Amino acid sequence: MIVRFTSLQLLLAVAVLALGMRGASAQSFLDQDAEAALQSLYSTSPAAKALSETAKGILMFPVITKAGFLVGGQGGEGVLFEKGKPVAHYSAGGATIGIQAGVQSYAYALFLMTDADLAYLNRSGGWSLGVGPNIVVVDAGAAKDVSTLTAQKGVHAFIFEQKGLMAGVGLVGQKISRIR
């Protein structure tokens, strides 16, 4: 007996399989992407590499996507590394308002230097409110990140691998939540 499937049936079957494998498989890809982003940061920033040697944890978001025109949004998923091993997964989502226009993606790393810094992330519920002027043109950019989270003693933020076209100054409300 020969069974024939239509293109739509095959597409649906692939989608169901992909959704079913999302858990461990997606987590593994996220871990790999976060590790690759960290290695990229270390190769371009000796300061980040030096901080990694004494950090209690590194929260790495390999891709945050941001888009806006006056009002905007941003989001991505990341990995918390402790002693070089992935221990938890997080999502970051936020809204921006201000003089801004464009679309960009970037990698974002938080180096948490003490046990108290790790506890602050949990105690604060993950919220971060800050002001972040940025200029990104194609694959080059400059950004400053000043927020309630990075202002805590011992927390160091790195924004790198910026791509896209985004310019402006805006107020950012962000929430980082544990997802797995």
132 CB neighbour count, 10 Å cutoff: 22
The verdict on residue 2 lying in a domain is no
Specify the number of domains making up the chain.
Answer: 1
Q: Pick from 68, 62, 144: which is nearest to 104 by CA?
A: 68
Residue 16 belongs to some domain of the structure: yes
Does the pLDDT at position 161 exceed 60? Answer: yes
pLDDT of 5 reads 46
Q: What percent of the chain lies above the pLDDT cut of 70?
A: 67
If one compares 155 and 138, the residue with the highest pLDDT of the two is 155
Give pLDDT tens digits for 48-88.
888 888 889 999 999 999 999 999 999 999 999 999 999 99
Q: What is the pLDDT of residues 117-133, one digit of tens each?
A: 888 776 766 666 554 43
- 1, part of any domain: no
Q: Give the model's pLDDT for residue 153.
A: 59
pLDDT of the residue at 120: 78
DSSP 153: T
Q: 102 lies in a domain?
A: yes
Domain-located, residue 92: yes
Tell me whether residue 62 is in a domain. yes
pLDDT at residue number 130: 59
Q: State the Cα–Cα distance between residues 76 and 62, nearest whole angstrom.
A: 8
- Phi, psi dihedral angles at 35 (to 5 degrees): -65, -45
Residue 88 within a domain: yes
Assess contact for 178 and 90: CB atoms under 8 A: yes
Residues 15-55 have pLDDT tens digits of 433 434 445 566 789 999 999 999 999 998 888 888 888 88
The domain containing residue 86 runs over which residues?
Answer: 7-178
Burial 36-74 (b: 16+ CB within 10 A, else e): ebbeebbeeeeebeebbeebbbbbbbbbbebbbeeebeb
